Structure 1
Amino acid sequence: MQTTVLLYRLYDVADEINLETVETILSAQSTTSRLRLSRIPPKSIHIQNPPVGVELGGGKVSLGGTDYDVFYSARVYDLGVVSIIMRVGLAPGTGYGEMKRLSLALEQQDDYEKLFRTQLEKLQQVMSPALVKKGLGDVEEDFTVFFFTDWQEDWDPLPLLLGEEGPFSDWVRRETLRNSFSYSPDDLVIITWDSALVYDASGSTDLPDLLEFANSQLLELRYYDGLLTGEMEKMYDDLALVERGSSFQRLRHYRSIMARLMEVVTEVTDITERIHNSIKVTEDIYYARIYSAALGLFRTGVWMESIQRKMAVIQQNYSMLSDEIVTARATWLEVAIVLLITLEIILGLLQVF
């Protein structure tokens, strides 16, 4: 790939996506491919079910008063995520000055955002049969990669990564460049919360692809954290409503609430396990460090802790409801035993008299 800007928008569109069906549907219209990192041996990084990539065509976008040719592609993940990528076509030999101007334009205008949704809606319609429990959530991720095949040491990466002219303090510069990695004189990657600078003289897109994968995991964790928040609120509302009914009605509603809670816990446990196992960097230390740094910077660990904390609260409430049902059943059993004993005594007395 030549020097360019890659704009990513990631969306959660379903609980799960059947990638085999996606390949069958999309390959009839365009060339599809499975994600594979090109610069390392396949055994160095294991992707359990590689996402399906497809080209979506081109168009034009006005950024900062200049019209650019853009090229759209998508990557479909089995976890229910669709990533729409806009690649800005830049003339050969485009240097730092044009990239800086483009970075500032991207930060100052957002009228191009609707173009991502348009591409997503078209893709969703086509691959609808492959979507399991489809529905567009309100959580999305955006990420920008400034990709260079030539980089000079005197170029300042901060205006690109922050979308600002500067000047910048030493603290801002130090914090922005904290996650910088380089394997050889011909490559460099700097990662921030919502952008990255990647220099690779060979044109390999391995690192942008790896960062996109990390963003897809972040998106799913955010989505399921929000799902658990909604389920907890619904649980408390249902419990407050049930308390107004009779004892017998409460037990029946408790069982219904417990069934829903168990379904949620099972679903979230399954998806978090799949997120953990979706990609494993095993032998390549350089890629492993970059991937781990990205996950740390995106705070995926914080989102996972939040999910586990909410799961613990839900499971605790499940146990409390279960104990209450067991206690109520024991109480009714004791009452039944007392009534039977009383009935037996009464019948005995009637026989005597």
Structure 2
Amino acid sequence: MKAESLWATREGGKVSRAQLTSTPPKALTFGVAPLQLSLGSTRLLLGNREVTAELSVRLYDFGVAALAARVAVADQTWDTFVADFDALDRAVGPTSLAFWTTLLAHVREVVLPALDRPAADASIEEDYLIGTVQAFSEPLDASALRDRVDIAALLSGEKRALSAASRRELLARSFSYYADDMVILTWDRAFIYEPRLDSDVADVIEVANAQLVEFRYYDTLLDDELPRMYERVENARGAMSLLASRRFAHLARRLYTLVAEVTELTERVDNALQVTEDVYLARVYSTALGLFRVPALSESVDRKLAIIRDTYAALYGEASSRRAELLEVSIVLLIMLEIVLMIFRH
């Protein structure tokens, strides 16, 4: 609750815990619901006109901040909607990192006292663009929608016509629950047609992206740690025998702490969203995870953790062996000293 109170005291803005709007809690729930903070609004230039973007952030308990800018439009042709979608990407997309880092710095400054082991470097980020349509000028079901509008143009961001194969690939990950809804996922964009104002699909896409960021962070962290670990092991082995056991024990404790911390937080990431009964959202969620290669990153982190665990076990065993050797030497020296003293007494 500390982050909530810090934000409410400092900013006075809206604070809430994110909840899925239409899915029963027993069917699909957040492990720990992210904290949602309102960041006010800003003006963005889309083409030759200014629009208002509502800004917000969700803070996940495993350490990810999901920043969002939402622009509402109405009474547009499909071509204008696609053009605005691309313009929004240019305004706040990958080339506008400073826009997001400024927002993140502000959030971090306010909630920093509530953070546990905050990362010094927050350079790992992912951007994702979602276009949501709630209604067309006439009722359309999902099958008719594909024929009436060029969804591939929205998802690709390309101005030129795509090949038939490219269009099939872009539209391959398509899901519908009711006849009049649709979601299509790609690596960096999604299209959602949802007349019932349901945001659950967008929420699970965000969770999958948050998990991607966190696993990328730990994969990079362990990539950097492994060479240092090997170097420290060699240095410890090169020490004099009397000091080696202490160095081995110290290094083993350090590796154990690292493994414990990473394991704890990756378990939080794995449990960020718990799916039990909602088959539709489960399919969207698992497809997003696979598309973002989250399982592959998770396996990579697990492999590197296994290497560190094995190294820890070997170091612990070697430290114990060195201590046993030292104890044996001490016992032999004591026996020899006792013999020498007995000789001198006689």
Normalised TM-score (structure 2): 0.88
Where does residue 4 of structure 2 map in the other structure?
Answer: 23
C-alpha contact 2:242 2:326 (8 A) present in aligned 1: no
Where does residue 198 of structure 1 map in the other structure?
Answer: 192
Given the superposition, is the C-alpha separation of residues 97 and 251 from structure 1 closer, same or farther in structure 2, using an over 3 Å criterion? same
In the TM superposition, residue 248 of structure 1 has moved relative to its aligned partner by 2.0
In the TM superposition, residue 85 of structure 1 has moved relative to its aligned partner by 0.5
Q: Deviations over 1:214-261 (max 9, x none)?
A: 111111111111122222122122223334432222222222211110
Please show how residues 147-162 of structure 1 align to structure 2 within 5 Å.
147-150=132-135, 152-153=145-146, 154-162=148-156
Q: Which amino acid aligns with 1:93?
A: D
Q: Deviations over 1:258-298 (max 9, x none)?
A: 11101001111111222222221111111111111111111
Describe the SS at the equivalent of 2:150.
Answer: coil
The equivalent position to 2:40 in structure 1, one of 54, 57, 63, is 57
- Please, which moves more after superposition, 57-66 or 179-188? 57-66
Where structure 2 has 5 or more consecutive residues not aligned to the other structure, the ranges are 137-144
- Matched residues in 2 for 1:274 and 1:130: separation? 18
The equivalent position to 1:82 in structure 2, one of 65, 69, 77, is 65
Q: Deviations over 1:289-329 (max 9, x none)?
A: 11111111111111111111001110111122122212222
Q: Deviations over 1:101-141 (max 9, x none)?
A: 13443555655432222222222222222222223422112
Q: Which amino acid aligns with 1:76?
A: L
Q: Which has the higher strand share?
A: 1
- Matched residues in 1 for 2:196 and 2:290: separation? 27
C-alpha contact 1:61 1:112 (8 A) present in aligned 2: no
Where does residue 139 of structure 2 map in the other structure?
Answer: none
Where does residue 122 of structure 2 map in the other structure?
Answer: 137
Where does residue 241 of structure 1 map in the other structure?
Answer: 235
In the TM superposition, residue 36 of structure 1 has moved relative to its aligned partner by 1.3
Where does residue 275 of structure 1 map in the other structure?
Answer: 269
Given the superposition, is the C-alpha separation of residues 54 and 337 from structure 1 closer, same or farther in structure 2, using an over 3 Å criterion? closer
C-alpha contact 1:64 1:102 (8 A) present in aligned 2: yes
C-alpha contact 1:48 1:277 (8 A) present in aligned 2: yes
Higher relative contact order (CA 8 A, sep 6+): 1
Q: Which amino acid aligns with 1:95?
A: T
Where does residue 79 of structure 2 map in the other structure?
Answer: 97
Describe the SS at the equivalent of 2:127.
Answer: strand
Please show how residues 1-353 of structure 1 align to structure 2 within 5 Å.
20-28=1-9, 29-90=12-73, 92-106=74-88, 112-135=96-119, 136-150=121-135, 152-153=145-146, 154-350=148-344
Q: Which amino acid aligns with 1:122?
A: H
- Please, which moves more after superposition, 234-243 or 116-125? 234-243
Aligned length, in residue pairs: 332
- Matched residues in 2 for 1:54 and 1:212: separation? 15
Q: Deviations over 1:21-57 (max 9, x none)?
A: 2222333411222211122222211222211212211
C-alpha contact 1:104 1:164 (8 A) present in aligned 2: no
Normalised TM-score (structure 1): 0.87
Where structure 1 has 5 or more consecutive residues not aligned to the other structure, the ranges are 1-19
- Matched residues in 2 for 1:108 and 1:81: separation? 24
Describe the SS at the equivalent of 2:126.
Answer: strand
Q: Which amino acid aligns with 2:303?
A: R
C-alpha contact 1:146 1:198 (8 A) present in aligned 2: yes
